[in-house]
């Protein structure tokens, strides 16, 4: 019964998000996201209401090319709907993670880190009717780099805060589960002191949930950071 009720709530939120998104495409974002928009999704970080939608945007700015390969500075921006416009409330890397500022090292022919970003969507992970944005990113400057899955929630005074994040060497992807109340994490699992070349389990998976006021990962394959992002 509880699961059926959750599915109905999720369907109503999805319908409202679609309706708002369809009617809000022309609302300006202030300021505009840097570079070119790659992804844009809507959510309700402080509860469902027609005038309380938020917008998460993934964008990238071309820095240059080497051997035909482009290199970008990625940005993750979160806007709140206020006074007939979407107004910026959080932007990475300016406000912090999960992204780093891309720079060119002395004598280097290319810029580092090489980065990727994907917004997985919005889901009511912590309580019904209130959503969070789920974002996955990967940065590489040497070896296979590191990957992060971050959950961003609404904070005090229309702020945006990291509710939880998960980090892993080389690779980590996130999928919002069918019930939209948990996240399936996938990537290699490295036991303590395992070298990057040889993961303990090459294709591991775990589930991230919020239950009874706590974030829980099962099994505990990946590094969990509650209330903040991994250190850069």
pLDDT one-digit tens code per residue, 194-215: 999 999 999 999 999 999 999 9
Domain that holds residue 128: 2-226
Lowest mean pLDDT among 48-62, 84-98, 106-120: 106-120
Average pLDDT score, the chain? 90
* pLDDT confidence tier of residue 142, bands split at 50, 70 and 90: confident
Ordered strands of the 214-218 beta sheet: 173-176, 182-189, 201-211, 214-218
Structure confidence at residue 64 (pLDDT):
86
Whether 232 maps to a domain, the answer reads no
Asked if pLDDT for residue 101 goes beyond 60, the answer is: yes
Q: List Cα–Cα distances, 10 to 44, 77, 114, 135, in angstroms.
A: 12, 24, 36, 19
Residue 140 lies in a domain: yes
Which pTM value belongs to this model?
0.88
Q: What integer is the mean pLDDT of 5-24?
A: 58
Segment 72-85, tens digit of pLDDT: 999 999 999 988 89
Give the total number of structural domains in the chain: 1
Q: Would you say residue 143 has pLDDT above 90?
A: no
pLDDT at 49: 72
């Amino acid at each position: 019964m509880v699961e059926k009720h959750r599915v109905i709530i999720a369907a109503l939120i999805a319908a409202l998000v679609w309706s708002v998104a369809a009617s809000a495409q022309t609302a300006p974002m202030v300021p505009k996201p840097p570079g070119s928009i790659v992804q844009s999704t809507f959510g309700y970080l402080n509860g469902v209401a027609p005038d309380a939608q938020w917008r998460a945007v993934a964008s990238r700015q071309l820095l240059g090319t080497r051997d035909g390969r482009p290199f970008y500075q990625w940005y993750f921006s979160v806007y709140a709907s206020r006074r007939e416009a979407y107004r910026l409330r959080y932007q990475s890397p300016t406000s912090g993670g999960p992204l780093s500022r891309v720079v060119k090292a002395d004598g280097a022919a290319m810029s580092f880190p090489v980065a990727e970003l994907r917004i997985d969507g919005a889901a009511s992970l912590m309580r019904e009717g209130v959503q969070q944005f789920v974002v996955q990113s990967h940065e590489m400057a040497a070896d296979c780099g590191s990957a992060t899955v971050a959950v961003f929630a609404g904070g005090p005074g229309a702020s945006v805060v990291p509710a939880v994040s998960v980090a892993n060497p080389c690779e980590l992807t996130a999928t919002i589960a069918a019930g939209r109340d948990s996240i399936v994490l996938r990537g290699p699992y490295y036991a303590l002191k395992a070298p990057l070349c040889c993961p303990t389990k090459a294709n591991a998976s775990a589930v991230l949930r919020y239950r009874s006021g706590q974030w829980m990962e099962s099994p505990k394959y990946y590094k969990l950071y509650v209330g903040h992002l991994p250190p850069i």
